[in-house]
A and B are shown apart, each in its own frame.
Chain A
Amino acid sequence: MIKFPIIRVITKLLIPYILLFAFYVQFHGDYGPGGGFQAGVIFASALILYGLVFGLDAIKRVAPPIVIEKLMALGVLVYAGTGFATMLLGGNFLDYDVLEHSLNHKYLPGGQHLGIFLVEVGVGITVTSVMTMIFYAFASRSRFV
């Protein structure tokens, strides 16, 4: 826990924007540069910044290690699950074209767009949680947080 008030206030101001930017990079990746890998790292960096300034116990209350641990695997499951979903719908593994008419078009994008979206969400979840978990592993051994 850092005592300097300026750092604490600035961190609190910055974190929402970092998280927002991470979401932008995640969900705008189909249109601009970005995607799951980059968004995951940016999201994790917001969490780690919080941990650095407010201490390991504070960040563990926000993102409990037990949950983060399960999210690591959940991301890969979402990715592979998308593949199996397309197989169940009659296509090949990760053949997003079969998603075209299988869901309500009014609210959700179809086909390739939906497939890429789901897959990138999976990547984002895994990268975020792996980065956060690695930080936990380092920080709970050292005395600097």
Chain B
Amino acid sequence: MNWVVFAILALLALTAVTVARLRQLWAAVMFTGIYSFLSASWMVILDAPDVAFTEAAVGAGISTVLMLSTLALTGEQEKPTKRSPLVPLLVVTITGGALIYGTLDMPHYGDPNAVVHQHPDPSFVEKSLEDMHGLPNVVTALLASYRGYDTLGETTVVLTAGIAVLLILRRDEFDRPAIASRAKRRQRKANA
């Protein structure tokens, strides 16, 4: 562990607190983008470039754009609340304490005897090069081949989520005249 680790973790905590305190939503969205970039750097340090990739592309890239377009639909200012912040603070503190208590049982970082490196099957790592006829990336081999069903399900989930967003949000150009004429008819009936 070197100072970069602590610097990134400190910046993550700082950004999180800033996002929680901001009332200007546009700035808060920007800070969540910064938070995603910091998490991506943290994932690189943890030797997970795949996750870092995804975090940078999805968290900092696309979701920032989507949140900004949401702000364009709703508004940039958060309404001030009148309720006391004490109860939420207490809940957050207890939850955080429980989470830290949970990490006490966890094995040390990079421990070769950790359960995750023993339990599912070490042979994935040992055999994948041979099974895949020379493809060196174990992560891809696991995702696309050993667990192909799982990834098929995930892709279907992405499709389903996309369809759901479209059903809720889309304004169909083709439907609009029909809706307009229906509204007009209803108006005429109400007048008559």
Binding site for B on A (CB under 8 A): 25, 29-38, 41-42, 44-45, 48, 52, 69, 72-73, 75-76, 79-80, 83, 93-94, 96, 110-113, 115-116, 119-120, 122-123, 126-127, 129-131, 133-145
What are 10 A-B residue pairs whose CB atoms fall within 8 Å in the complex?
A: A30-B135, A33-B49, A44-B62, A48-B65, A79-B152, A112-B132, A127-B155, A134-B166, A135-B66, A139-B69
> Which residues 33-55 of B sit at the A interface, judged by CB distance below 8 A?
49-50, 53-54
Whole-angstrom distance between the Cβ of B101 and the nearest chain A Cβ: 33
A120 to B161, alpha carbons, bound, how many Å?
A: 19
**Inter-subunit contact B151/A33 (CB<8 Å):** no
**Inter-subunit contact A72/B163 (CB<8 Å):** yes
Interface size class of B (residues with CB under 8 A): 35 or more
> Which residues 140-176 of B sit at the A interface, judged by CB distance below 8 A?
140-141, 143-145, 148-149, 151-152, 155-156, 158-159, 161-163, 165-166, 169-171
A75 to B69, alpha carbons, bound, how many Å?
A: 26
Contact of A141 among B50, B73, B131, B161 (CB under 8 A): B73
A80 to B155, alpha carbons, bound, how many Å?
A: 10
User: Do A126 and B69 contact each other (CB < 8 Å), given the known contacts A45-B61, A119-B148, A133-B166?
Assistant: no
A143 to B68, alpha carbons, bound, how many Å?
A: 12
Contact of A113 among B135, B165, B170 (CB under 8 A): B135
Binding site for A on B (CB under 8 A): 49-50, 53-54, 57-58, 61-62, 65-66, 68-70, 72-73, 131-137, 139-141, 143-145, 148-149, 151-152, 155-156, 158-159, 161-163, 165-166, 169-171
**Inter-subunit contact A127/B148 (CB<8 Å):** no
User: Do A76 and B137 contact each other (CB < 8 Å), given the known contacts A120-B144, A134-B66, A138-B70?
Assistant: no
From B53, B58, B162, residue with most partner A Cβ within 10 Å: B162
7 further contact pairs, Cβ within 8 A, besides A76-B159, A94-B145, A94-B148:
A25-B53, A48-B62, A83-B148, A110-B133, A112-B133, A135-B69, A141-B169
Residues of B within 8 A of A140 (CB): 170-171
